Structure 1
Amino acid sequence: MDLSPDWVEAVGTWVGGIGTVGTLIYAGRALRHETERRRQDVDDLRKAERSAQDAQARTVVLHDAGVDGHLFGRMDQYKIVVGNYGMHPITNVVGKLVYRETQAQLGKFIGGPAPLPVLEGGKRQQLQWEVMIKWPGAAQQHELPDHFDLEVQFTDVNGIRWAVRPGLGQQPSRVYDIE
């Protein structure tokens, strides 16, 4: 075997080339792994952020729904208390009361509450609608709120619009996100 300088140089070039290709493959795999890890980290951060937003929205609770008056044929009031039991304020609190059709043709709306511009954390506020109850049928006063569907919408500190309905286990739902 002839170990001339040209031959040694050629072998060295080949070994160096193979080493370079191996290094590039290793670097490419490491880069792909790092990219996937960072993408997973971003996804985890988004999930944590969404979970924190959901947790803040779950602190808004509707309770004490009821109809005061029971004066059938006169003005009565449908009332609900909105409680913001979180640390942050909510804004633009708007209640939407809809009469649920029944055979009784129970009532009609006279007027509703103005939107609440701000409800601070740890505070409660009552919303009330004026309703005319025409025909009681066999309805008892505690059953009257069941003839209405209520939805309260609000905007949280992140600019996300939420809707919540009264009732046990009712979770708020996103109306829209501001991005």
Structure 2
Amino acid sequence: MSRGFVKEDDQEEIPIVPPRADLPEGVTNYVTQVGMNQLLEEKQSLIDERDKLDTTNDNERRIAVNHINAKLQLLLNRIATAKIVELDKQPQEEVRFGATVTLKIGKEPKLNRYQIVGVDEADISKGKIAFISPIARLLTNKKVGEKAVLKLATEERVFEIKGIDYL
């Protein structure tokens, strides 16, 4: 049917949903079991939110449901492509996906701890970095006592591996 015969009010609003954390095309969606549990909890939360929508205006409700469904679709795709990495099967003496690495960074006296996790689980404020990040890629396959050098525009930052744990 021609758009000339369709009322403007009849057009569905296409929800604008921000994308999930970036996972480059062709890269396996690795997750820890904790990360998978978080994705499943998020799914349940979205379903609950959709089921509890309390809007008397049908149009507002439809828009809200469409928005939640769009977010849910992105999430379901991420869950469907997730590959859980069993941390106890990782080589315990090397930095790999899921490792919590204790680092000495440069001349800083304080040690830092970061866990290498999936893109959806990554949260630097919680000490979790994505496995696709430059630092995680730099540390992968290193062992305790080894150093990794990150070349920045104006300096080189040296990361010395002090410990590796798979918790």
**Which category of TM-score, normalised to the shorter sequence, fits these structures?**
under 0.3
* TM-score in terms of structure 2 length: 0.24
Larger radius of gyration: 1
Higher strand proportion (structure 1 or 2): 1
